[in-house]
């Protein structure tokens, strides 16, 4: 919808503005209400030209609840959007050149109807590359040795398990993964078992550190699809369709087809009204000051919001809305992720025990890792938090299952090996085969 701006004589244009309106002085600018993004900038740019005074107000469902006057007071010149209009123009040309022309060309050459697209063809190439990598994947057997220790003279008979490992010889991903893997023929594993039964075991070192995990960023579409798949087994299309229904039909969430995981400052200012609308189902899990305390730059960053901000609930109560089971699950995820922003970090103490078994002059070392939760923080809102560790970037080393350690463990404490066994499993390795 385009309407003329008010001039000093308070005259306005009702309906669409025409090119002649500018030359005759009827209007001095155009207000263009539209959805955010390049596709909205292009038609205005083509109609008004670069020299005419134009402005744009970007509104979403949240802003549309009553911020029109404030938005109109903050209009910016259309020239600030020239680059986005140029990007939209380039994209439309690419759709024509790549999509329409190449689709026809390939269909003629191969004598069947083929589709080539600016987005779909590179995406298909990524899928093919991944498929070829999977075909090169070959599993190989290996053995791990796991010992069960009990403190000598421990009347409580508390035990813990440790996994044998070799000294790390490199920093590569393969070197870290192979620290505890032994050849499948069992020869080296049998030697380790014999030394464990005949040697002397002692706790060589014991260290503990507190790990801190911040609450996760808000959902973009990709992260929502991944999380819904991990929790509920939803396909990517299933999650998209459900989120689209929550947005279009029920008006309960913001625009779901977004690649941003942050909020703009304007949207963050409406957080209190959103919390008031969705908090009824989570009252016992809310942090103090939820919706009232200002959010930090981790979540509010205008520079990381392009066309659309992260997926969040709208300031509308869902209590009287009839939702399907799938819609309820996706809406619940979005509400929980939104409310996590005001929670404290999740803290856990991680204790690592190194147990050494010495036989003659050979020392075999076993690693044990145990954790104790010190502060739940945002995880009180996390579905399936029990039994699932927080995700961290750059974690490549495979670790033994974490366990609750005996409270009596101490450096220098002698241990009895009450059980030791080798377990056979397999891992994958890529090999060169026909194809890419």
**pLDDT tens digits for 78-128?**
677 778 778 888 888 888 888 888 899 999 999 999 888 888 888 999 999
pLDDT over 70, % of the chain: 73
- Residues serving a catalytic function are 255
- Beta strands of 54-119 (E only): which ranges? 54-58, 76-77
Note the pLDDT of residue 50.
Answer: 47
Note the pLDDT of residue 157.
Answer: 81
**pLDDT tens digits for 357-390?**
999 989 999 999 988 888 999 999 999 765 455 5
Note the pLDDT of residue 15.
Answer: 46
Strands 414-430 and 2-4 come out as unpaired
- pLDDT at 170 exceeding the cut of 50: yes
Nearest to 220 by CA among 299, 289, 284, 278: 299
Tokens representing 85 are 């209009």
Question: Domains plus CATH for the chain?
Answer: 2-86 (no CATH), 144-214+346-424 (2.70.20.10), 221-329 (1.10.290.10)
Report the distance separating Cα 309 and Cα 274, nearest Å: 15
If pLDDT is split at 50, 70 and 90, which confidence band does 274 have? very high
If pLDDT is split at 50, 70 and 90, which confidence band does 138 have? confident
Report the distance separating Cα 175 and Cα 186, nearest Å: 20
- pLDDT at 211 exceeding the cut of 60: yes
Tokens representing 200 are 């002397």
**pLDDT tens digits for 230-264?**
999 999 999 999 999 999 999 999 999 999 999 99
Count of residues for the chain?
Answer: 436
pTM confidence score: 0.67
If pLDDT is split at 50, 70 and 90, which confidence band does 169 have? low
Q: Which of 52-66, 271-285, 316-330 has the lowest mean pLDDT?
A: 52-66
Round the average pLDDT of the chain to a whole number and report it: 81
Residue 217 CA to its chain's centroid (Å): 7
Strand order in the sheet with 2-4: 2-4, 30-34, 54-58, 76-77
Note the pLDDT of residue 90.
Answer: 83
Q: Name the phi and psi angles at 34, rounded to 5.
A: -160, 170
């Amino acid at each position: 919808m385009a309407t003329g701006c008010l001039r000093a004589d308070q005259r306005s244009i009702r309906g669409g503005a025409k090119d002649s309106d500018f030359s005759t002085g009827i209007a001095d600018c155009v207000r263009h209400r539209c959805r955010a993004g390049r596709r909205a900038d292009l038609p205005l740019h083509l109609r008004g030209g670069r020299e005419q005074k134009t402005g744009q107000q970007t509104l979403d469902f949240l802003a549309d609840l009553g911020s029109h006057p404030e938005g109109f007071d903050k209009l910016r010149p259309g020239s600030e959007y020239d680059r986005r209009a140029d990007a939209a123009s380039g994209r439309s040309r690419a759709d024509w050149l790549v999509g329409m022309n190449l689709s026809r060309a390939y269909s003629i050459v191969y004598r069947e109807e083929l589709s080539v697209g600016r987005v779909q063809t590179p995406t298909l190439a990524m899928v093919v590359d991944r498929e070829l990598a999977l075909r090169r994947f070959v599993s190989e057997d290996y053995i791990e040795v796991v010992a069960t220790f009990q403190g000598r003279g421990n009347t409580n008979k508390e035990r813990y398990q440790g996994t044998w490992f070799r000294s790390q010889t490199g920093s590569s991903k393969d070197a870290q993964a192979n620290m505890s893997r032994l050849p499948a023929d069992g020869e080296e594993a049998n030697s380790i078992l014999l030394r464990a039964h005949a040697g002397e075991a002692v706790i060589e070192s014991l260290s503990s550190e507190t790990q801190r995990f911040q609450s996760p960023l808000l959902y973009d579409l990709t992260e929502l699809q991944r999380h819904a798949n991990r929790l509920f087994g939803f396909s990517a299309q299933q999650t998209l369709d459900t989120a689209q229904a929550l947005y279009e039909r029920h008006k309960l969430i913001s625009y779901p087809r977004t690649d941003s995981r942050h909020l703009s400052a304007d949207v963050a200012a409406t957080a209190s009204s959103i919390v008031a609308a969705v908090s009824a189902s989570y009252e016992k899990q809310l942090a103090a000051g939820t919706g009232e305390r200002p959010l930090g730059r981790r979540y509010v960053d205008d520079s990381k919001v392009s066309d659309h901000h992260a997926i969040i609930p709208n300031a509308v109560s869902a209590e009287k809305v009839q939702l399907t089971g799938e819609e309820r699950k996706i809406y619940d995820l979005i509400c929980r992720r939104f409310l996590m922003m005001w929670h404290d970090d999740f803290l856990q103490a991680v204790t690592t025990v190194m147990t050494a078994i010495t036989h003659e002059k050979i020392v075999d070392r076993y690693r044990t890792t145990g954790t104790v939760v010190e502060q739940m923080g945002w995880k009180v809102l996390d579905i399936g938090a029990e039994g699932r560790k927080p995700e961290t970037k750059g974690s490549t080393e495979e670790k033994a299952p974490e366990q609750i350690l005996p409270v009596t463990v101490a450096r220098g404490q002698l241990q009895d090996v009450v059980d030791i066994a080798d377990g056979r499993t397999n891992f994958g390795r890529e090999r060169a085969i026909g194809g890419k």
